[in-house]
Structure 1
Amino acid sequence: MSGNSETASSASDAPDGPDAESDTDTADTMRERAGENRVKLWLLLRANRLVVAGVLTVAVFVAFVAVAVGLSPSLAEKVGSSDPIETLFASMITAIVTGATLVVTIGQLVLTQENGPLGDQQERMDDTLAVRGDIAELTDGPTPTDPAAFLDAILGAAAERARDLRDAVDDEGDDADGSSRDALRAEVDDLVTGLTENADAVRGQLDGAEFGSFDVVFAALNFDYGPKIGRIERITTDHDETLTDDERNRLGELKETLSLFGPAREHVKTLYFQWALIDLSRLILYAAVPALVVAGVTLTAVDAGTFPGSTLGVDHVTLVVGGAFAVSLLPFSLFVSYLLRVLTLAKRTLAIGPLVLRDSE
């Protein structure tokens, strides 16, 4: 998927006929569908957010020092003739306090979704139990409470129903038009092979994944259920006269199973968003205290004569001010690192169902 341009297409817009499958088939894993550089995708999604924030902080320090060294006159001379440190860090203190206040507001918005009268809470519980009941009926067993096992159970049921579909199609004898049955078997076999391989790979990624980390959500992204639903619809339409009632029912059951994975993934993703925003709020509040201390000390104690001398041609006062500036920006770096992941995840999961918001392969 291109970061700046995406082509929206859905299964319902695909041309009719056997050749139409090429218009909606996409790669299964999220990295393959994205078409992004591996390092870029790792930075946006997989990398530890604290590491990303640390890298941003170091980058700010290096950039500050590089620009300050390149200026003429040097920062030390500027500090001696005026007071840019006071202006800079007075503004930083205001920004840190304001940012921390906004973080508290964000945290309140997240928590607001969890608050409500007793009737609303009972309705949420009833809806949740209803969906769990559907999944329990689908998997012929109790619905897991662990998010990773919850998704795994749906994928296992989808893979099992897909194999049952292929067996049913293979066991059915040829009709008068044997070529129609051959075409049906080929399409079903291709669908089932891709679905089961994708499901088994994602189930392997979910094994041992713990909610709170990004592992569960990232694994769920690697199961591309939307195009698979679209392909089931296309097979049902293209081979309507060839399909037996049993085969048609099995296709419907497989579609139903895949359709349950969409809401389940969105539910897990929403819980992760809330979890991440709460973590972000806490980390920014933690980082705001040392950032305020550093900004305040720099404002009151650092001037042209506080750190005399230079190393490798770089004035010591430049290094100190650059380091203080980078540390003061740490709350903002944390905000950027978490927001990069949340926005990237939100963009790649905008549609629910067989709607492909990217160039199809």
Structure 2
Amino acid sequence: MSSTENDSSPESPSNDIAQRSKSRNQVLEWILIEGNRLLITVGGSAMIFVLFLLLSHYGVIAFTNENSVTRMASGMIAGTFSLVTLVVSVNQLILSQEFSPAGDFRDRLDGVLDFRQDVEQMAGVPATPAAPSQILLLLATAIQHRANSLATALGDHDDEEYRARAVQFANSVAESTEQIDKSLDQTGETAFDTLSVAVNYDDVWQLYATKHLRNDASSLSEETAQNFDDLIDLLQLFRIAQEHFKTVYLQRELTRFSQLTIYCGIPAVLAAVLITVLYGDIGGGTIAVMYLPYVTSFLATLVFVPLVLLAAYILRTATLTRRSAAIGPILPQKDSNEGPFEVSYNENQ
């Protein structure tokens, strides 16, 4: 295999986590990831309530026709039952992953213990921390230390062009890990905060670039090669930690969503039933006409709460999963012409 360097720099395109976060649309980012799901649900439900009132005020919809309102309420009851049933099915799927015989559970436990042992060996600590945020910081510190050691070891490399490129990359890795500590200080140390920081860290790109630079060198000293190998191992451990955090977090998040859907689903069904009862009189609503838009809009909003809750949770889980979908040094979000490395088949092999 042969490779040539194009005009791009081997620095990660998302080197600075904080700078990349600021460049995004902050409102959209808050809705998709950062915002409290319950707060977003309340805000979305309030917007639906206001929308109903505005449509009624401008004559787009009317709450005086009992036939249309009761048909709408019947559809709401059926839809709410379907949504609750779907969520219960999702919850059963999650629970099925927790039920396993002793042998399967032992394999899972051995996998976690092996990972913790690898972290202890690479980081030189007596025991891997229990808190996810501390594991992340430990791995980031180890990656930073190894990247700095790599930059120092590359100082006496014979190829000046390769040395400049590799040292630049090692320094960019060291700088990017500093942002993890800063990001956790700004956001917090909860399970979601840890996962959010881990997902934003461009470990997949760094693993790809490290492997390329390691294998593209014509010759490496023993110390430099060892630093390359250690950096690759640490980046792989970081990726494993990220996937483990994501799995645990999504299990907890979806379980919490299932609970909240049941809590909101029962009032939603009752609200739809109340709409039907409210318009049970053959002459129309059983309360004064001036109050019908407010009462009916409020009850209809309650029916929509489980749907808004579903949207709030799915937006976060889907966004996190999409941003961390790559396994290993495979970058599906990159264009085929993106550098910094151009690789072609070597016919002499």
Fold similarity call, TM over 0.5 = yes
Q: Give the equivalent residue in structure 1 for 2:147.
A: 162
Instruction: Answer with 267-276 or 22-31: which moved more.
Output: 22-31
TM-score, normalised on structure 2?
0.86
| 1:299 alignment partner AA | T
What is the aligned counterpart of 2:288 among 282, 287, 308?
308
Distance of 2:236 and 2:18 partners within structure 1: 19
CA contact (8 A) 1:217 1:269 kept: yes
Q: Give the equivalent residue in structure 1 for 2:242.
A: 265
SS in structure 1 of the partner of residue 331 of structure 2:
strand
Give how far 1:251 is off.
Answer: 0.9
Give how far 1:99 is off.
Answer: 2.0
* Residue ranges of structure 2 left out of the alignment (5+ in a row): 340-349
Q: Give the equivalent residue in structure 1 for 2:260.
A: 283
Q: Is 1:209 aligned to residue 188 of structure 2?
A: yes
| 1:209 alignment partner AA | G
CA contact (8 A) 1:17 1:238 kept: no
Give how far 1:309 is off.
Answer: 4.9
What is the aligned counterpart of 2:30 among 24, 37, 42?
42
Instruction: Answer with 130-139 or 317-326: which moved more.
Output: 317-326
Equivalenced residues, count:
330
Deviation per residue, 1:209-255 (Å, 9 max, x gap): 3444x2111111221011112222222233223x2222122111111
Aligned CA distance change for structure 1 residues 329 and 295 (closer, same or farther; 3 Å):
same
* Residue ranges of structure 1 left out of the alignment (5+ in a row): 1-11, 311-315
Deviation per residue, 1:176-209 (Å, 9 max, x gap): xxxx2x3233223311221112111112333583
Kindly report the root-mean-square deviation, in angstroms, between the aligned alpha carbons of the 2 structures. Answer: 2.6
Q: Is 1:75 aligned to residue 62 of structure 2?
A: yes
| 1:164 alignment partner AA | S
| 2:20 alignment partner AA | E
Distance of 1:204 and 1:93 partners within structure 2: 48
Give how far 1:331 is off.
Answer: 1.0
CA contact (8 A) 2:210 2:228 kept: yes
TM-score, normalised on structure 1?
0.83
Q: Give the equivalent residue in structure 2 for 1:274.
A: 251
Q: Give the equivalent residue in structure 2 for 1:250.
A: 227
What is the aligned counterpart of 1:65 among 53, 57, 68?
53
Aligned CA distance change for structure 1 residues 91 and 30 (closer, same or farther; 3 Å):
farther
Q: Give the equivalent residue in structure 1 for 2:123.
A: 139
The percentage of aligned residue pairs carrying the same residue is 26
Instruction: Answer with 289-298 or 335-344: which moved more.
Output: 289-298
| 1:53 alignment partner AA | T
Aligned CA distance change for structure 1 residues 65 and 219 (closer, same or farther; 3 Å):
same
Deviation per residue, 1:34-81 (Å, 9 max, x gap): 975232122111111111111221222223333334446x6144x2xx
Distance of 2:292 and 2:310 partners within structure 1: 28
CA contact (8 A) 2:278 2:285 kept: no
Distance of 1:202 and 1:25 partners within structure 2: 15
Give how far 1:31 is off.
Answer: 7.8
